Amino acid sequence: MTPSRSGSGPVVRPDEVGRSSSMVWIVGLVVVVIAGLLAVFIARGPGDSAPPIEDETAAVKTIKPASGGSTTAPTFIEGGLPAIGTDSDPAVGMTIPEMKGTTVDGKPITIGPSGGPKVIVFMAHWCPHCRAEIPRLVDHFAADGEPEGVKIFGVSTRVDTKAPNYPPSTWLKDAGWTVPTMADSQDLDALRLFGVSSFPYFVVVDDTGKVLIRTSGELTMETFDSLVEAARTGKLPDAG
């Protein structure tokens, strides 16, 4: 006998009952598997994000430089700066961390709050904006000389052996970059503890070792000179 409809519900033949039960079981299994994979993905987070800072302001951390440097001497980093906020920079007025390590060509280097005003340039060898900005700064220094009374430092970070311009030491040498440039660690300590968000990234430090300005992106040389002058005088550039 052919089953009859009752109200507006669907018609179900007896031979479909078994198949319906099987489908429910299969769908349930798929949901469980997907939920498990999603939980793993959420726990891992994005693969290219910098690892979170976990109370690193109270201790000195010892690590080895990332590949791209020519030495395995340790780097020491103490203190840390928060990330830039959407409306203001909470790091302004804070003392910068002290970093001791090696340059990309293997020489000892220290970047810290002492030693007078400074501008620190964070760069990545594969970054197209860095590849445009570094030669621009080289030409600027060649034409006008490096700033007097303000030290310029570089930090090479996020080294990728498969990306363009590897190793960074060769890239910088070929570009004519003579600014002392530290090799960041494999764990990206310098990047994380200075709150670096993009490249190139500039940190302007006054004579007392405190942050005046942090900014990122390609700069005109006029803007760069205004950052240098801010470091020298301890005063922010005129907004007008």
What local confidence, expressed as pLDDT, does residue 87 receive? 80
CB 212 within 8 A of CB 236: yes
Higher pLDDT: 75 or 127? It is 127
CATH architecture of 60-233: 3-Layer(aba) Sandwich (3.40)
Percentage of residues in the chain with pLDDT exceeding 70? 67
DSSP state letters, 62-93: EEPBPBTBS----EEEE---PPPPSSS-TTTT
Contacts of 175 (CB under 8 A, 6+ apart): 134, 135, 138
Contacts of 203 (CB under 8 A, 6+ apart): 96, 119, 120, 122, 194, 211, 213, 214
Angle separating helix axes 128-144 and 168-175, nearest 10 degrees = 40
* 20-38: pLDDT as tens digits: 444 444 444 444 443 443 3
What local confidence, expressed as pLDDT, does residue 66 receive? 57
* 149-183: pLDDT as tens digits: 999 999 999 999 999 999 999 999 999 999 999 99
Residue 212 CA to residue 220 CA, distance in Å, equals: 19
* 46-82: pLDDT as tens digits: 333 333 333 333 233 333 455 544 443 445 666 789 8
Q: What tokens were used for 154?
A: 């570089």
Q: Looking at the predicted structure, is the pLDDT value of residue 2 above 50?
A: no
pLDDT category, 136, cuts 50, 70, 90? very high
CB 228 within 8 A of CB 237: no
Full-prediction pTM beyond 0.85? no
Residue 18 CA to residue 42 CA, distance in Å, equals: 37
What local confidence, expressed as pLDDT, does residue 167 receive? 96
CB 130 within 8 A of CB 216: no
What local confidence, expressed as pLDDT, does residue 78 receive? 62
Query: What value does the mean pLDDT of the chain take?
Result: 77
